[in-house]
């Protein structure tokens, strides 16, 4: 351990406390003045006590602790090293046969005195640092007056960090809906009442900033709080969801502007990480489309679970470069193989799978832009259907254990080419299950916030330009979840599956896109219709007013996970399916787009051609 001058001072302090504890232990038992023989033994034993106790303090790890963050774990450590040191001293005394002149009762006092003398200075230092008198003398006019919403553990830790960083923020009050906290104090700051008192409190206390310290708040709670905040003209900051905070340590560095994810993101999803880890740990895992929004996040989640190796296939050179750089920086010990490749390239797929022999494949590669694919029928079918077929066949040939197809809510009663191709891919994977040792699992979900090509980045760009924000229909709704949440549930479903299942992720309640647009405008500090207009452009080709997560013939069943449902899939004739896919391959090879559309209709009879 590197010894800087601060640590040397701490060691010298502790040695002084050891000497004092030993001296007071003797004085309590013997009284003052000491008899000459007792004083002689005291001075004889003092070097031994100092050496033995200092070794125990060092080996016990006391000098790895930082005084300004002293807490219960540090006090428990002091208690432990004090009693261990006492026991070691007793052994040495016995060895030197000094019990003849040292009263045993003196050794009973020693550890308690040492605990007090080591612990009290540390606690006083922390108290001084967090509630520094310098803070009281600071010119409050230069500090931002902060009102904190949420007086729980997160609010406590946040204000504590403000105390440590004395040059920016001055916490002037808490608001919290828990009546038991109201009227009390947290870190010396009063809990003034319920959140409903926000507007009057902001005015009365001349608040410069509102901080929402409610990282476990539900969607409904966050909507209510932010709607109240929007009625004031005060800037608002918030903490990320608790599972997104590094080591769950709350600090002012974690604050960010309120984002749409804070409104639409839901309460933390509880996952069985042990089951997920068992399914992926020490296995070779492959992700197709690993440079996309979902694929890249899947790679990051998988990298945390200690796979034997992670193999990424991605057709975009930049996306592949980007995800590779991130993973190598964040997980330097990860064995990572990246390949530029097109899943429709059968030679490449068989070569890559044959080389690495992946045991689990997450198939995220797909075209997904609904309006664009309406006029790109061949590319949609070639990539989403035939590319899935080629990758699945390569997985079977190489003995892959699990193949997880990542599908979409647009595959249910599709009104567009994209949805039809995803449904066709589902049908093929379900049919393949049971025809080999590979377990084929399908995971179906709706929109993810902030993914490439989604509505959120579009709205952000439109708002940045001053509007207008374009919404296709006044009543259009979509299901939303965050990218990390979607990927975690994909991993959970993949671990639960035994083959042949269609897992449907519980997306909560659908969200009106109009509401999404209005909230994003408000979060940018503007007023909808006043500062930025919203115009309604009409449904685009193939676009539904409301999406669905399961077909009427797919009976939904509960699973062991509250956020994952099981849809019973419909059976399809294998011989007809293979013949139809051969026709699709021929039509793609010949660029016969009208034929491709007819074949998709054969594969997916529920495709509503009148809307495409």
Please tell me the distance from the alpha carbon of residue 5 to that of residue 11, in angstroms, as a whole number. 10
Does residue 267 surpass a pLDDT of 70? no
Catalytic status, residue 437: no
Which of the 8 DSSP states describes residue 532? Answer: B
Q: pLDDT, tens digit, for every residue of 183-233?
A: 888 877 888 888 889 888 988 888 888 888 887 777 677 778 887 887 787
Q: How many CB atoms lie within 10 A of CB 355?
A: 12
Taking the domain 273-603, which CATH number applies?
A: 3.40.50.720
Number of H helices, E strands in the chain: 22, 22
Q: C-alpha 86: how far from its chain's center? A: 45
Residues 6+ apart with CB under 8 A from 481: 265, 266, 445, 446, 447, 448, 449, 489, 505, 507, 508
In the numeric block, which tokens belong to residue 260?
């749409």
Task: Compute the average pLDDT of residues 441-454.
Answer: 74
Q: Which CATH number fits domain 134-258: 3.30.930.10, 3.40.1080.10, 3.40.50.720, 3.40.980.10?
A: 3.40.50.720
The domains of the chain are located at 5-130, 134-258, 273-603
Mean pLDDT of the chain: 81
Residue predicted with more confidence, 590 or 118 = 590
Q: How many CB atoms lie within 10 A of CB 100?
A: 7
pLDDT at 436: 87
Domains 134-258 and 273-603 share a fold: yes
Annotated active-site residue in 283, 368, 389, 410? 410
Residue predicted with more confidence, 213 or 334 = 334
pTM for the predicted model, two decimal places:
0.66
Q: What are phi and psi of 332, to 5 degrees?
A: -60, -20
Nearest to 507 by CA among 551, 446, 550: 446
Q: Where are the beta strands (DSSP E) in 315-468?
A: 336-340, 360-363, 402-408, 439-445, 447-449
Q: pLDDT, tens digit, for every residue of 368-401?
A: 888 899 999 999 999 999 999 999 999 999 999 9
pLDDT at 216: 73
DSSP 280-344: HTTSEEEEETTTSHHHHHHHHHHHTT--SEEEEEES-HHHHHHHHHHHHHH-TT--EEEEE--TT
Taking the C-alpha atoms of 260, 263, 268 and 269 in order, what is their torsion angle to the nearest 10 degrees?
-80
């Amino acid at each position: 351990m590197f010894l800087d001058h601060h640590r040397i001072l701490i060691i010298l302090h502790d040695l002084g406390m050891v000497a004092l504890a030993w001296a007071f232990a003797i004085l309590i038992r013997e009284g003052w003045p000491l008899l000459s023989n007792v004083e002689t033994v005291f001075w004889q034993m003092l070097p031994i006590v100092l050496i033995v106790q200092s070794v125990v303090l060092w080996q016990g790890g006391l000098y790895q602790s930082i005084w300004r963050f002293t807490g219960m774990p540090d006090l428990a450590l002091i208690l432990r090293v004090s009693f261990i040191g006492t026991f070691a001293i007793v052994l040495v005394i016995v060895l030197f046969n000094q019990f003849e002149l040292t009263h045993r009762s003196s050794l009973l006092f020693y550890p308690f005195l040492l605990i007090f003398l080591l612990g009290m200075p540390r606690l006083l230092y922390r108290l001084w640092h967090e509630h520094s008198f310098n803070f009281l003398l600071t010119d409050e006019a230069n500090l931002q007056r902060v009102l904190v919403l949420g007086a729980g553990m997160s609010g406590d830790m946040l204000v504590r960090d403000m105390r440590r960083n004395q040059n920016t923020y001055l916490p002037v009050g808490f608001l919290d809906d828990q009546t038991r906290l109201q009227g009390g104090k947290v870190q010396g700051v009063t809990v003034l009442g319920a959140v409903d008192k926000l507007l009057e409190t902001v005015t009365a206390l001349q608040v410069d900033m509102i901080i929402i310290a409610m990282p476990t708040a539900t969607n409904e709670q966050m909507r209510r709080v932010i709607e109240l905040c929007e009625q004031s003209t005060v800037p608002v900051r918030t903490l990320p969801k608790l599972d997104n905070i590094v080591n769950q340590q709350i600090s002012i560095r974690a604050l960010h502007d309120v984002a749409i994810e804070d409104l639409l993101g839901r309460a933390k999803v509880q996952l069985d990480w042990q089951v997920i880890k068992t399914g992926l740990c020490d296995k070779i895992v492959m992700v197709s489309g690993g440079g996309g929004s979902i694929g890249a996040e899947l790679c990051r989640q998988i990298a945390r679970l200690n796979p034997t190796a992670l193999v990424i296939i991605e057709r975009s050179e930049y996306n592949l470069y980007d995800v590779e750089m991130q993973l190598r920086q964040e997980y330097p010990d990860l064995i990572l193989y990246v390949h530029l490749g097109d899943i429709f390239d059968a030679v490449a797929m068989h070569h890559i799978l044959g080389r690495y022999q992946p045991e689990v494949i997450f198939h995220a590669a797909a075209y997904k832009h609904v309006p664009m694919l309406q006029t790109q029928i061949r590319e949609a079918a070639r990539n989403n259907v035939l590319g899935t077929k080629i990758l699945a066949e390569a997985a079977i040939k190489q003995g892959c254990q699990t193949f997880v197809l990542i599908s979409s809510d647009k595959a249910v009663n599709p009104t567009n080419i994209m949805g039809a191709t995803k449904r066709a891919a589902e049908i093929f994977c379900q049919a393949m299950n049971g025809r080999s040792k590979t377990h084929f699992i399908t995971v179906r979900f709706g929109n993810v916030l902030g993914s490439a090509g989604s509505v959120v980045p579009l709205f952000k760009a439109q708002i940045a330009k001053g509007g207008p924000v374009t919404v296709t229909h006044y009543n259009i709704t979509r299901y939303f979840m965050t990218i990390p949440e979607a990927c975690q549930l994909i991993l959970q479903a993949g671990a639960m599956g035994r083959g042949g299942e269609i897992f449907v992720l519980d997306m909560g309640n659908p969200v009106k896109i109009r509401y999404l647009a209005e909230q994003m405008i408000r979060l940018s500090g503007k007023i909808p219709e006043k500062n930025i207009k919203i115009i309604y452009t009409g449904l685009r080709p193939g676009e539904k007013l409301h999406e669905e997560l399961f077909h009427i013939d797919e009976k939904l069943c509960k699973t062991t996970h509250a956020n994952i449902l099981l849809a019973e899939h419909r059976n399809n004739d294998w011989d007809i399916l293979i013949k139809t896919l051969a026709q699709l391959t021929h039509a793609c090879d010949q660029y016969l787009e009208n034929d491709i559309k007819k074949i998709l209709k054969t594969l997916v009879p529920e495709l509503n051609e009148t809307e495409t």
